Chains A and B, each alone.
Chain A
Amino acid sequence: MRRAFVRTLVELAAANPRLLLLTGDLGYNALEPFAERFPDRFFNAGVAEQNMVGMATGLAEAGFIPFCYSIVTFASLRPYEFIRNGPVLHRLPVRIVGMGGGFDYGPQGATHHGLEDLAVMRVQPGMTVVAPADHEQLACALRSTWDFPGPIYYRLGKDDTLTIPGLEGRFELGRAQQLREGADCALVATGPVVVEAVGAADDLAARGIRATVLVVASVQPAPVEDLAGVLARVPVALTVEAHYVVGGLGSLVAEIAAERGLGCRVLRCGVRRMPDGLSGSQAYLHRTHGLASEALVETVLRALGAG
């Protein structure tokens, strides 16, 4: 989504002089189109994410809409208290852009795995949290939210080629997008790992098990009614996220099921283990953590007592 992000941002910036782009010295071979087109509105803050977010707060107070770009962990965790006491506390339109959610930077190792950003961002009141599944959904999400009055966290994937079939760039704040309809189980997924959920649903269909697939890109505000509606219709729901199972999509879905008193069993598929030092490709790490479509199918079959 790197190119789609920059392409869309350039398009928005051309029409809106309030839009600025700040980076924590990352985005090689990605941010150049913006930097070249708007040299006066592009700032490399250096490897200094706390100051980047602090500055963005001062810029936003004066009327700008600054986008702060870095890799997920450095964008969300390093300056976290600056986000909390800056745009959140002041209710300002600062955009935190985390590139490479989950295991996008798999071979880079544990410091580069973005596994808790959704949790820490959605716990902040007034923070909009957007995690698109593919580049088309990102472009739509960016166009429809960029000038929203409060702060936004965008969790992006690196891949610019992945397209989720049937999603067709749909996005709406506070809504989920449904890709498959079935009453046997639900697969609720966020981010590019949606592709594994879709693959699992298709495998299950071949076995005669009908799965509803929901894409949650608007993590906050959460698509409460869409989720509750699906959870009321199925006995088992799997949440699928390249994220720790604590605090992210799995927790969100479990909260809704519990608060609504729904009988649906919620199985959270995500990262449960402590970092073990092993790195590898995104596909390898998805397999390792039970997020590949084959593992999702097995989890559904076990839950339905059919495995």
Chain B
Amino acid sequence: MEARALTPTRIRRIILEQSKRAGVGHIGSALSIADIIAALYGGVLRIGDLADPERDRFVLSKGHAVLAVYAALFLRGWLTEDALNSYCADGSLLGVHPEHALPGIDFSTGSLGQGLPMGVGSALAARLQRSSRRVFVLVSDAECNEGALWEAIMFAAHHRLANLIAIVDLNGQQALGYTEQVLSLTPLDARWRAFGWDVHEVDGHDVDGLARTIASLDIRSAPPHVLVARTVFGKGVSYMERQLKWHYWPMSDEEYRQALAEIAG
């Protein structure tokens, strides 16, 4: 399989193409994390071989945005074009939520609040095995509604799992409304900090900045790290940005043409 240049624009294009082809939604959520995924798969994650037990692990806890990850796996050459084009097709491993049976997906997710606990276990395993591998978990901001997430936050801080890096996709939206209206999370950074984490507020659309921040983390002796990444839901497509309906809606032909034009800049 051929590797291609992995850029946020290419990820966004694939998100739009595949969403349109499959006629499905969750477009805004995937666009929201496109730059974070570009940073992770563009150089942050240490993955030589997908089957290498020493590879970094990545848990997409907000599984409904996995199309961005499929795009990255394709661009890295770990997913064939035929496989990518099977997104949401009958009998495909590429569903709306990630499935671990697909090479490149470490953990199946889709039920919010379950990814961080699995990531904590994965980070603890690395410590027990004296491995230098790291564990990244991308959670949504609304996912912080889930109590189990805070169980995991407490355990990771108590055991000072420095090899664990959480990233919060702080786009301020959830399924039925804006997070401030549904169940306020503010101040989210202070909450993680109060629970003992090393908190970094970052721009979730600055690929280089994300990579630099992650490179600066002390993954040996510090507490666990969280990047509270400010993002814009639907980023890159003007009519989708901050609009709730694009959590669900598929694009019309006209909307699709406009979206492609806008992300091409």
Q: Contact between A51 and B155 (Cβ–Cβ < 8 Å)?
A: yes
Q: Does A86 contact B (CB under 8 A)?
A: yes
Residue from B108, B116, B128, B147 with most neighbouring chain A CB atoms (10 Å): B128
Known: A63-B53, A82-B114, A82-B148. A57 touches B155 (CB 8 A): no
* Contact of B125 (CB < 8 Å), options: A51, A53, A63, A85: A63
A57 touches B125 (CB 8 A): no
- Chain A's interface: helix, strand, loop or mixed, by majority? helix
- Shortest Cβ distance from A55 into B: residue: B121
Q: Is B188 an interface residue (CB 8 A)?
A: no
Chain B binding surface SS class: helix
CA distance A171 to B129 in the complex (A): 34
B30 within 8 A of A: no
> Once bound together, how far apart are the Cα atoms of A216 and B119, in whole Å?
37
Q: Is the CB of B111 within 8 A of A81?
A: yes
- Are B121's CB and A58's CB within 8 A? yes
Q: Fill in one digit per residue for B98-123: 1 if any A CB lies within 8 Å of its CB, else 0.
A: 00100000111111011011111111
Instruction: Decide: A46 near B114, CB < 8 A? Known: A58-B124, A61-B107.
Output: no
Q: How far is the CA of A81 from the CA of B129 in the complex (A)?
A: 28
Which residue of B is nearest A57, CB measured?
B118
A58-B120 in contact given A64-B125, A81-B111, A85-B111 (Cβ < 8 Å)? yes
Q: In chain A, what residue has the closest Cβ to B120?
A: A55
Give Cα A81 to B147, complex, Å.
Answer: 14
B152 located at the interface, meaning its Cβ lies under 8 Å from any Cβ of chain A in the complex: yes
| Cβ of A224 under 8 Å from chain B | no
Are B121 and A56 interface neighbours, CB within 8 A? yes
A90 to B119, CA, bound (A): 14
Question: Is B126's CB within 8 Å of the partner chain A?
Answer: yes
User: Across the two chains, which residue of chain A brings its CB closest to B111?
Assistant: A85
A89 on the B face (CB < 8 A)? yes
User: What size tier do the contact residues of chain A reach?
Assistant: 20 to 34
Q: Judging by beta carbons under 8 Å apart, are A46 and B126 in contact?
A: no
Q: Say whether, besides A48-B151, A51-B155, A90-B100, A59 and B114 are in contact (CB < 8 Å).
A: no
Chain B: residues with Cβ within 8 Å of the partner, total of 32
Query: CA A12 – CA B171 in complex, angstroms?
Result: 48
A45: interface (CB < 8 Å): yes
CA distance A89 to B148 in the complex (A): 19
Within 8 A of A (CB), among B113-164: 113-114, 116-126, 128-129, 135, 147-148, 151-152, 154-155, 158
When distances are taken between beta carbons in the complex, the residues of chain A under 8 Å from B147 are 50
Residues in chain B near residue A48, CB distance under 8 A: 148, 151, 154-155
Task: Kindly state whether residue A54 has any CB partner on chain B within 8 Å.
Answer: yes
Contact among A60, A62, A86, A89 with B129 in the assembled complex (CB-CB below 8 Å): A62
- Residues in A23-50 with C-beta less than 8 Å from chain B: 40-41, 43, 45-46, 48, 50
Q: Which of B29-63 contact A (CB under 8 A)?
A: 53, 57
Inter-subunit contact B125/A59 (CB<8 Å): yes
Min CB distance, A187 to chain B, in Å? 41
Question: What separation, in Å, do the CA atoms of A167 and B95 have in the docked complex?
Answer: 49
CA distance A85 to B109 in the complex (A): 8
Known: A51-B152, A82-B148. Is A58-B117 also a contact (CB below 8 A)? Answer: yes
Q: Which residues of A contact B113 (CB under 8 A)?
A: 50
The 8 closest A-B pairs by CB, nearest first: A54-B117, A58-B121, A55-B121, A62-B125, A51-B151, A58-B122, A48-B151, A50-B148
What are 22 residue pairs bridging A and B, where the CB atoms are less than 8 Å apart in the complex? A43-B124, A45-B155, A46-B158, A48-B155, A51-B151, A51-B154, A54-B120, A55-B121, A55-B152, A55-B155, A57-B121, A58-B118, A64-B125, A66-B121, A81-B111, A82-B114, A82-B117, A85-B109, A85-B110, A85-B111, A89-B108, A90-B107
Binding site for A on B (CB under 8 A): 53, 57, 100, 106-111, 113-114, 116-126, 128-129, 135, 147-148, 151-152, 154-155, 158
